[in-house]
A and B are shown apart, each in its own frame.
Chain A
C-alpha cells in the first residue's frame, strides 16, 4: 500500500469531484422537470401523449446508460448533416453530451417515480378540495404536487444516488470527472488499488450526504404526527 500516493492524489481527486457534482446537479435539475412533465403526460387520458411518455421511459430505462452516452456522443457525431447545424455547438462538447444523456436517463426514472406517487394520492383528498370549490389547477399545484413529491422522496433519494454513481461514465467521453482523474493518476503511477480506494471513499461520502439530506427532508415533511 502506497499511503503517500493516497495522500497526494486526494486533493486532485477532490478537485475532480467538483465536476462530478456539477454533472450530477445540472442533470438532476433538468431531469426533475423532464420527469415531472412526463409523469403528467403518463396520467393524461390522451392515448397518444400517454403512449409517447410510456415509450420514452421504456426506452431510457431499458437500455444501459453507457450505451445512451455513446449514442449521443459518438453516434450523433457521425451524422454529417448534424455537424452543420447549430445543434453541433452543444453536441460538440463532451460536457453537454453527458448532461443530455444523464438528464434524459434520470428523467425517465423520475417520471416513473412521480407517476406512481401521483397514483397513490387518496382520491378523498382531491374530492375534499373539489367540495370546497377549489379549482382543478389549484388542486393540482397545492395538493397533488406537494403530496406526490413527499411520497416520492425515498425513491427519488435512491435515484439521486444511482445517478451520482452513473456520472462516473462521463469519463468514457473524455470528461475529467472523479473517475476520469483517478484513471489518469493510475495511468502514470500504475497503482489502481490506492487511487480507486480514495476515489471510492469520495463517492461514498457524497452518497452519505445525499442520503442524509433526503432523510432530513423526509422527517421535515412527514404527514402523520
Chain B
C-alpha cells in the first residue's frame, strides 16, 4: 500500500515537473485576429497584422519560443486567467478597469479612438477640437463633451463589446446614447455601412482600413480621444504574478516583455512595423 502511494506520488510529481518545464519553455500569446490592422487573418487563415509581427519580433528579443493563439475578444481576459495562454497582444488598451484583474507591460503603441459615420450624416462637421485627453480635464474637454452629448442625443452608436469604446459610452460622459454592442469590429463596420448605426466608435485605423478595403464612404468625425476611459496606450496583458513557481513564471514573462519592448523601441523595430501596418508611426 505504502509502495503504491509512493509510486503514485512520484508519478504525479513528475507530471507536475514535466508540466512546468513544458510551460516555461514556450510563451503562448493570445490575439483576436479580427481587428485589422492591429491583428487579423489573411485569406488562408494565417494570423497577420501589426501585433502578430511585433509579437514575433519581441520573442526574438526575449530569445524564447512563442506560439500565437487565436481567441474571441469577449473571452480574452477570462482565457488569460484560465491559463489558455500567457500574454495578450490584441490591441488591448491599458485601463484602470482591466488593471484590477490583470497587469500590463509598458505600452508599445498608441490607439487613437474616433467616431465614424457614413458620408452625408448629420454628425459630419461637428465643431470640436481635433483631439481631447480625458485625463487632463479642463474647459476645452468639458465643452467638447457637451457638444458630443448634444450631437449624439437619441442616436445609436455601435461598438465592439468589452472595449474602451463601450466603457466610454457607458460612462455617461456623452449623455445616455443608445449603445449597441457587437462581438467583432467587422460586424460594427457592416452595420454602420448598412445604416443601422448612426455612428460607431473604435480605433480610427479600424475605420480607415475598412473604408479602404470595402470602398464604403466611411468618414471620421469629432475629436480623437485619449486618456480616461481610453486608457494609456496598448500594452501586453499578463496575469498578475503570485506565489510559487507559476506566479514567478508570470512575473518573469512580464519582465521579459518589458525588456523586449524597450529594446525593440530603441532599435526602431516597433516604429518600423507600425508604419508598415498603420501607415504612420503609432509606437510609444
Interface of A toward B, CB cutoff 8 Å: 74, 77-78, 83, 92, 94, 172, 174, 183-184, 186-188, 190-192
Contacts and interface: CB of A to CB of B under 8 A. Distances in A.
Contact of B161 (A74, A184, A190): A184
A78 B78 contact: no
A213 B180 CA distance: 35
Given A192-B75, A192-B78, A77 B191 contact: yes
A190 B74 contact: no
26 contacts: A74-B191, A77-B190, A77-B195, A77-B196, A78-B194, A83-B194, A92-B196, A94-B180, A94-B196, A174-B158, A174-B180, A174-B191, A183-B74, A183-B161, A184-B161, A184-B181, A186-B78, A187-B74, A187-B161, A187-B162, A188-B162, A190-B77, A190-B78, A191-B78, A192-B75, A192-B78
Nearest to B190: A74
Given A74-B191, A184-B161, A190-B78, 13 more contacts: A74-B190, A77-B196, A83-B194, A83-B195, A94-B180, A174-B180, A174-B181, A183-B74, A187-B161, A187-B166, A188-B97, A190-B101, A191-B78
Contacts of B168: none
Contacts of B180: 94, 174
Interface string B18-44: 000000000000000000000000000
Contacts, number: 42
A77 B162 CA distance: 24
A190 B81 contact: yes
B183 interface: yes
Contacts of B182: 174
Contacts of B161: 183-184, 187
B191 A186 contact: no
B187 interface: yes
Interface in B141-185: 158, 161-162, 166, 180-183
Contacts of A172: 183
A194 to B, nearest CB: 11
A78 B166 CA distance: 25
A70 B112 CA distance: 30
A78 B180 CA distance: 18
Contacts of A174: 158, 180-182, 191
A187 B97 CA distance: 11
Nearest to A79: B194
A92 B195 CA distance: 8
Interface in B72-110: 74-75, 77-78, 81, 97, 101
A186 B190 CA distance: 25
B179 to A, nearest CB: 10
Contacts of B196: 77, 92, 94
Contacts of B194: 74, 77-78, 83
Nearest to B196: A92
Query: Top 9 nearest A-B pairs by Cβ distance?
Result: A187-B162, A77-B194, A190-B77, A174-B180, A190-B101, A192-B78, A190-B78, A187-B161, A74-B190
Nearest to B167: A188
Nearest to A80: B194
Contacts of A186: 74, 78
A188 B98 CA distance: 8
Contacts of A190: 77-78, 81, 101
A74 B196 CA distance: 10
A157 to B, nearest CB: 32
A190 B162 CA distance: 10
Nearest to A92: B196
A192 B196 CA distance: 29
Interface in B181-206: 181-183, 187, 190-191, 194-196
